Structure 1
Amino acid sequence: MIDRRSLIRNSSAAGFGALALAAVAGGTDLAYAAPSTAEHHGQQAGFPTGLSHVERKHLEIFDELDFDVFSHAKWDRLGESHARNIRVHWPDGHYTDGIDKHIADLAALFVWAPDTRIVQHKFRLANGQLTAVTGEMLGTFTKPMPDGKGGWIQPTGKSYVLPMATVGIWNKRNTMDEEYLFWDNQTFFAQIGLG
């Protein structure tokens, strides 16, 4: 039996892939691939079959998180999907603790790209207290970006379409205790003209 939490913690993207492959190879119908089309604006064809009530609830909460809460910067609602003491692992390898820090980090994305949004979930998987969801994050670099040194990087006007994935570890209160975010920062910066 695979210790999924340990696998995800210790191997990042490999853990996500192993989790997805385990669900598919295990003969379960927990994985779902939506058709690849233009922006869905949150419209999905359905959920995987064979989900428990709790697994389906987690995916429903996650859809609401991405398509409404995140995409419309409704930070006062982030507690519907995230525990107060959530640990969030970012693509560059650092992590943060606590929902307030996570809100500040998410809000910072909207400073320089106020049209940031997630438009579809191409692949969704749920197994017990774990979810893995892929999607596309879009936005346009139209406002000055803080450079982290007290200055600003002027907007390039370039848009980005970034494939991303999130692995969540949920608790019995149906909020995530841990969240792992994956996307390619090099591609991201190249698309907005900074790479």
Structure 2
Amino acid sequence: MIDRRSLLKTGGAAAFGALALTAVACGTDPASAATGLAAPMPYPDPATTAVPNPPFPTNLTPEEQAHLQTFDELDFDVFSHADWSRLGESHARNIRVHWPDGHYTDGIDRHIADLSALFVWAPDTRIDVHPIRIAMNELTAATGVMRGTFTRPMPNGKGGFIQPTGKKYAINMATTGIWNSQRVMDEEFLFWDNQTFYQQIGLA
């Protein structure tokens, strides 16, 4: 088993991701990509160009395959339909979630509250594509496109509301998960560009 926290802290995760990107572009697995036999092909911007969900990488262990399948179900069905009663299928009760702005939260109940807040002002929020899906032991990484429309008042955190702009958003995002032996995530890292997010919904 790999030392997952050492991998993340020493930059191994970045190398892991770079190999995976090469593998996806070349149609190979990360191990084959490491040989450098083929140059990666340019990939379109998934937020502006429709891309299909690729097949799972080859040579996955049963556990790695299960992690990716669970993560697909999480985004495509549980998140996109705001079915929070099912979040425990992918998230541990005491999960730590790291957000793009650098703060983190602990516990599934807090995470449900944070996710639910997205649907207050954009009830059509959804993720229906994972252009890149990779797994290695208890680590998974997936990119996605989160979409929605700012159609309802947004709470401003001060007791008031920001009126809807009617603008749509489509932002590229990435999630890294650390899974435990019960096949749920103990820790989740969320990445997207908040500046682009706010620009698209008319708040920046």
Shared fold by TM > 0.5? yes
State the alpha-carbon separation in 2 of the partners of residues 174 and 93 from structure 1: 26
Q: Which residue of 1 aligns with 2:31?
A: 28
Structure 1 unmatched ranges of 5 or more: none
Deviation at 1:60, TM superposition (A): 0.1
Spell out the pairing of 1:78-89 with structure 2 (5 A cutoff): 78-89=87-98
Q: Which amino acid aligns with 1:6?
A: S
Q: More strand per residue: 1 or 2?
A: 1
Q: Which amino acid aligns with 1:17?
A: A
Deviation at 1:119, TM superposition (A): 1.5
Please say if 1:108 is aligned against 2:111: no
- Equivalent residue in structure 2 for 1:38, among 16, 41, 50: 50
Deviation at 1:94, TM superposition (A): 0.2
Deviation at 1:28, TM superposition (A): 1.7
Q: Which residue of 2 aligns with 1:179?
A: 188
Structure 1: which 4+ aligned runs deviate by more than 3 Å? 22-27, 33-37
Q: Which residue of 1 aligns with 2:145?
A: 136
Deviation at 1:45, TM superposition (A): 3.7
Q: Which residue of 2 aligns with 1:69?
A: 78
State the alpha-carbon separation in 1 of the partners of residues 12 and 154 from structure 2: 32
Q: Deviations over 1:60-114 (max 9, x none)?
A: 0000000000000000000000000000000000000000000000000000000
Deviation at 1:15, TM superposition (A): 6.3
- Equivalent residue in structure 1 for 2:167, among 149, 158, 164: 158
Please say if 1:5 is aligned against 2:10: no
Deviation at 1:5, TM superposition (A): 2.0
Note closer, same or farther for the CA distance 1:29–1:168 as it changes in structure 2 (3 Å cut): farther
Spell out the pairing of 1:90-105 with structure 2 (5 A cutoff): 90-105=99-114
Q: Which amino acid aligns with 1:21?
A: A
Q: Deviations over 1:114-142 (max 9, x none)?
A: 00000200111100000000010000000
Q: SS at 1:122's partner residue?
A: coil
Alpha-carbon RMSD across the aligned residues, in angstroms, is 2.6
Note closer, same or farther for the CA distance 1:22–1:39 as it changes in structure 2 (3 Å cut): closer
Note closer, same or farther for the CA distance 1:126–1:27 as it changes in structure 2 (3 Å cut): closer
Query: Given the two structures, how large is their TM-score scaled by the length of structure 1?
Result: 0.87
Structure 2 unmatched ranges of 5 or more: 24-28, 34-40
State the alpha-carbon separation in 2 of the partners of residues 6 and 188 from structure 1: 31
CA radius of gyration, larger in: 2
Identical aligned residues as a percent:
66
